[in-house]
């Protein structure tokens, strides 16, 4: 089964911390040991795993990406969100995480983020668990 | 078992839409529910998931990557394709997709792309299914 | 079970070839056919798969990333390693590989790398096998 989670983003570019909701879901599905794949079904957003202690790291990630790949440039795509598609292709559509003892295994400073690159929008995150 | 698919690229840099072939393969392997991992065994190519409605998005992705990581620069690697290795490392060697009801689960605008960064070449894509 | 491997990095930025150790582990765990997920539990490091024939490719990857995302810039994060977090988010926290006949399936030129972006440090790599 595929679990679906709704994410309401509030800005054009935003790193939304979904760690707490993911942990709640892991508790609910009762997978003891295995894998979790967190998937973004959108082409102007992505999933990443990064520091969730100092929020300024998320600001640096999104601002550096935007300085490398600016909102407006000489793009062929005319919908005004070419930058968002490019960032999505680079950061990636999913992340894989391990589950042990019924809990998601994250490094000390790691959190799971939904990367909005063309919000605000109502988004979905799809999650699939593999029991091993 | 690992399924293998051949991709013949025609340009040095090209985003080849492999969605239709992947869907055909999914129909053939008869996995009802599970996962599909799409893997690129080459070090100057990659796999991505992105918009497959407006082809100009693919042009913007490859041209922006090439403006950030130019073909010719002060590279140590002397084979003339250092840029392709760097793009490959950034975009990534595989993508994970979900399967439900015997079909690959893609978001409304998503397609699966083989990213050629040093063609034209005869390439392979490896696919592995997990039934859950 | 999650296998854990220690990696001792020696420089601030370093692509450590972990292919031989991963192959040794694959031999030990006796998985005949399936998958291997190689995961980095750190927010200033990453995992990638790329050329392991000419070491100059690794130099080009890390130097190009550093020229796009410099060590010192106008970052909000004040620990002096914002660049490492950004690189980690872009390259990604894990890679998925296939296993067949008790061996990891790599393309002719592919190797597996631990990407250190804020060393030297004692790091961990987590590996999870799926028998199919």
pLDDT band at B36 (very low <50, low <70, confident <90, very high): very high
- The greatest distance separating any two alpha carbons of chain C, rounded to the nearest whole angstrom, comes to 50
pLDDT at A78 over 90: yes
Residue B121 distance to chain C (closest CA, Å): 15
Query: Residue C74: what pLDDT?
Result: 96
Query: Residue B69: what pLDDT?
Result: 98
Q: Which of B43, B46, B76 to probe the C interface (max C CBs under 10 A)?
A: B43
What mean pLDDT is predicted for residues B2-14?
A: 98
Query: Residue C1: what pLDDT?
Result: 87
Please judge whether A95 and C94 are an interchain contact, meaning their C-beta atoms are less than 8 angstroms apart.
yes
Query: Residue C71: what pLDDT?
Result: 98
Query: Residue C91: what pLDDT?
Result: 98
What mean pLDDT is predicted for residues A72-78?
A: 96
Please judge whether A106 and C41 are an interchain contact, meaning their C-beta atoms are less than 8 angstroms apart.
yes
Contact between residue A96 and residue A37 where contact means Cβ atoms under 8 Å apart: yes
Q: Which of C4, C89, C99 to probe the A interface (max A CBs under 10 A)?
A: C89
Please judge whether A95 and C92 are an interchain contact, meaning their C-beta atoms are less than 8 angstroms apart.
yes
State the residue range of the domain holding A33: 2-131
* Alpha-carbon gap, residue C43 to C41, rounded angstroms: 7
Q: With beta carbons under 8 A apart, name residues in chain B contacting C57.
A: 43, 76-77, 82, 85
The interface predicted TM-score (ipTM) is 0.97
Nearest to B126 by CA among C123, A117, C48, C105: C105
Taking CA atoms, B121 is separated from A89, B36, C57, in Å, by 22, 25, 20
| Number of structural domains chain C divides into | 1
Residue C79 distance to chain B (closest CA, Å): 24
Nearest to A67 by CA among A110, A113, A15, A13: A13
| Mean pLDDT, chain A, whole residue set | 97
Transcribe C44-62 into DSSP letters: TEEEEEEE-S-THHHHHHH
Domain containing residue A63: CATH number: 2.60.120.460
- The label of the residue with tokens 């909000």 reads C76
Residue B51 distance to chain C (closest CA, Å): 19
Task: Calculate what percentage of chain B has a pLDDT beyond 70.
Answer: 100
Q: Where are the alpha helices (DSSP H) in chain A?
A: 19-29, 56-68, 82-91
Beta bridge pairs of residue B17: B113
What mean pLDDT is predicted for residues B78-99?
A: 97
What would the pLDDT profile of C1-58 be if each residue is shown by its tens digit?
899 999 999 999 999 999 999 999 999 998 999 999 999 999 999 999 999 899 999 9
Contact between residue A114 and residue A125 where contact means Cβ atoms under 8 Å apart: yes
């Amino acid at each position: 089964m595929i679990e679906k989670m709704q994410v309401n983003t509030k800005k054009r570019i935003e790193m939304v911390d979904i760690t707490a909701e993911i942990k709640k879901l892991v508790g609910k599905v009762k997978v003891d040991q295995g894998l979790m794949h967190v998937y973004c079904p959108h082409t102007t957003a992505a999933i990443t795993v990064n520091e969730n202690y100092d929020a300024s790291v998320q600001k640096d990630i999104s601002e550096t990406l935007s300085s490398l790949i600016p909102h407006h440039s000489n793009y062929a795509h005319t919908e005004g969100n070419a930058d968002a598609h490019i960032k999505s292709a680079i950061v990636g559509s999913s992340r894989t995480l391990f589950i042990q003892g019924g809990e998601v295994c994250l490094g000390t400073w790691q959190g799971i983020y939904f990367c909005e690159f063309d919000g605000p929008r109502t988004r979905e995150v799809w999650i699939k668990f593999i029991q091993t």
